[in-house]
Structure 1
């Protein structure tokens, strides 16, 4: 499947349907009996799926890709963003197909039914109606309809990359809002045996309002310590535009965001209309994710989160639970985490952020080297890698874990130990005014043995990221 080439969506959905036929049947969610209605089973499944698959965090786990039956080679071609996009699409498709089984939907042209659901996802209700009509008549869906849905999906695929230096971290929240809407739409469609256009429009509007509310809260978080720079303001307003909200809602949101740039808006005013427990949890989880993505959390951000939890009436114990869930997911799925953040940071990271990181590395270099030397196995593995000797997958995993432990031992380097923090070294390698990589870690290793001196620790962290992450 070649993203951007006509027909890629048809191929992806055909692969997904074929893989789903071979996969084990979805199990009845815990707490429900086999006698529960299909709609109840599917509804419970949607809640569990969004969390278990990683869609809540904007990053489907690797298993969601391999479970589709695609080879690692086909699943991993293209840029990291494209790989992530395909993983999201396959996860959406698998979720809908599982829902069809749990809801007791009769057999049908699943590929075309998935096309209809993706048309709704992109707000193309007229196209969805046309696809449904063709399915009812048993006719082939015209290529022009496939092309319109493909184009719409491509336009929204890579438009919300998060940038810790400038813009908001919107990718996670926007994807989750879409996933929740997609799952509920699939549930309604397969339960009814047809598309309810009025309900579909309501779900689209609700997802848009979710995103707008998230933008307001995350803008407040971004402004908590200082007024955003001109570049930051421009980046945030561009992300508002990229959300593809209805014109009236986008206009209102732009006004609210501009006002937040100048003066802090009351959180109680921002979230006063949030009554749903699920929506409260969504807003708080996404704010926690955004506060962690740059590897550090200031006192102001911590106070903002505490106040947000209070206004949303979320107890402190639940906040701690959510933080642990976020950390656990990121620890288990580092290979695809923060793809958008890192690629964006590599190109747009501000000079002030670069300078702070460079100074931190330089000030703590000797202490860092001392920590490495005192970690016997880590020193051995780094030396082995520096000499050009291949490491096994297990050795790379142990080296990565120990590098993180070393970073944790030095408070000033805690940013690299936070979720996604080690990936920042990859971005730094592209923007720092000096080369982090010694000769042993560049494309053409030095012919003579290299001693473990200089910037080898920082470089190996970056090199490890390319091998493992």
Structure 2
């Protein structure tokens, strides 16, 4: 199976069929939080899809970047749709039918957003198409096949950033929540453009990176001429948060998305100035998001970049890695300090971990014991409410790093010595 070849969608569904989607593993009940937890590590929110949620295809490493992105988007659609099911399938056959029906409906979904899309794609190489699977394949390809801006990482992040909105609205379309979904999505795109324009002006200096990012996002928004003109004027003249109606972001997930795109814009030069932090704090306040959750969003983005460093090859400069890792470490340390009471309680209730701490006072732990200590400390971090919905960079959080960032008074007495 190769996502670059005709007929890949049916082949992938055959592979996917026997494997159910397991939401219980996430231990999150709220649907918005759960979709964020599933999709955030994929990179889809940041317009840079890398890893699909759920099961991995054995031939994934052989696919090109466009093929991988198709699977990320498809899997995100499947997860978003299944979250909206009142009753999940129970048998392999039921799951197979669900995957088939959901993947076939992708073309119908995009036809609602763009009524002309079916006419545009109705003839391929002069042949009339009737196969909904083939139509879905073509639509996914068209949705992803945009001109890339690989010359600049942060601009490229915005290249496909609207794919996350597709995932979100696909699930809502399944429930018929919106009377006019196309209008709502277009309004969200305009809101997002205004927010990132305001973010670019937060420190009164428009960086080249910020200009690249704004126009990359604008180019992929598919707005009308009049809407494009208004967006360009907002970026050229500047716009404040007071001038932006944020009510369109009416769910926790849309608010989170608005905030994280603003962070990406501000974070383009890898530095968040005092004025830019004040802007983000004010945006978070207006969205009803706490200061701690703002820090978590910053950590989520930094964690994604650090964890996927090899894949984001255009970011691989020692200085950038050091700067990003240092700011993330400082931020995590600050958040952990706010939760040291619950961390200490978790450590004390873990008898195996406590015995490893005691043993380490007198002798060197074996490699396996150190790995066990690391994994259990990371599990404790994941239990903290602040970190429940994001993917922490496990490869970056080595045992020495964990021992450095955790508050000293959460450890058993004598261990630090």
Deviation at 1:171, TM superposition (A): 3.8
For the aligned residues, what is the CA RMSD? 4.4
Which whole-Å CA distance do the structure 1 matches of 2:23 and 2:262 have between them? 32
Q: Does 1:291 align with 2:279?
A: no
Alignment of 1:231-242 (within 5 A): 236-237=214-215, 239-242=217-220
Alignment correspondent of 1:154: 141
1:169 deviates by 4.9
Q: How far apart are the structure 2 equivalents of 1:95 and 1:168?
A: 25
- 1:39-438 → structure 2 map (5 Å cutoff): 45-51=34-40, 53-60=42-49, 62=51, 64=53, 67-74=55-62, 77-78=63-64, 80=65, 82-95=66-79, 98-99=82-83, 103-104=87-88, 108=97, 110-121=99-110, 123=113, 142-143=129-130, 145-159=132-146, 161=148, 169-171=157-159, 173-186=161-174, 188=175, 202-225=180-203, 236-237=214-215, 239-245=217-223, 247=224, 251-262=226-237, 264-274=238-248, 276-278=250-252, 279-337=254-312, 342=314, 408=322, 414=323
Tell me the TM-score normalized by structure 2.
0.58
What is the number of equivalent residue pairs in this alignment?
Answer: 311
| 2:195–2:244 CA contact under 8 A, matched in 1 | yes
Match of 1:19 in 2: 15
Distance verdict in 2 for CA 1:335–1:16, change over 3 Å: farther
Q: In structure 2, the residue corresponding to 1:152 is in which secondary structure?
A: helix
Q: Structure 1 stretch 316-325 or stretch 328-337: which is displaced more?
A: 328-337
Classify the secondary structure of the residue corresponding to 1:255.
helix
* Pair 1:174–1:115, CA change in 2 (3 A): same
Q: Which moved more, 1:92-101 or 1:299-308?
A: 92-101
Single out whichever of 157-166 and 175-184 deviates more from structure 2: 157-166
User: How far is the alpha carbon of 1:183 from its aligned partner?
Assistant: 2.8
Q: Secondary structure at the match of 1:159?
A: coil
Correspondence for 1:390: none
In structure 2, do the counterparts of structure 1 residues 275 and 221 end up closer, same or farther at CA, with 3 Å as the change threshold?
closer
Tell me the CA shift for residue 181 of structure 1: 1.2
Distance 1:269-1:56 versus aligned 2 partners, 3 A rule: same
SS in 2 for 1:154: helix
Alignment CA distance shift 1:315-1:164 (3 Å):
farther
Give the Cα–Cα distance (whole angstroms) in 2 for the partners of residues 336 and 305 of structure 1.
Answer: 28
Closer/same/farther in 2, CA of residues 224 and 169 from structure 1, 3 Å limit? farther
Please give the secondary structure, in 2, of the residue aligned with 1:243.
Answer: coil
How far residue 104 of structure 1 moved from its aligned partner, in angstroms, is 3.5
What is the rounded CA distance, in whole Å, between the counterparts of 1:271 and 1:50 in structure 2? 27
Give me the TM-score of the superposition, normalised by structure 1: 0.53
State the distance in 2 between where 1:275 and 1:17 align: 33
Q: Which runs of 5+ in 1 are unaligned?
A: 33-39, 129-140, 189-195, 346-399, 409-413, 420-469
C-alpha distance 227-45 of structure 1, shift in aligned 2 (>3 A)? closer
Distance 2:200 2:172 in 1: 31
1:329 to partner: Cα distance: 3.1
- What is the rounded CA distance, in whole Å, between the counterparts of 1:221 and 1:44 in structure 2? 25
Q: For residues 20 and 44 of structure 1, do their structure 2 counterparts lie closer, same or farther at Cα, with a shift above 3 Å needed?
A: farther
1: CA distance, partners of 2:233 / 2:10: 45
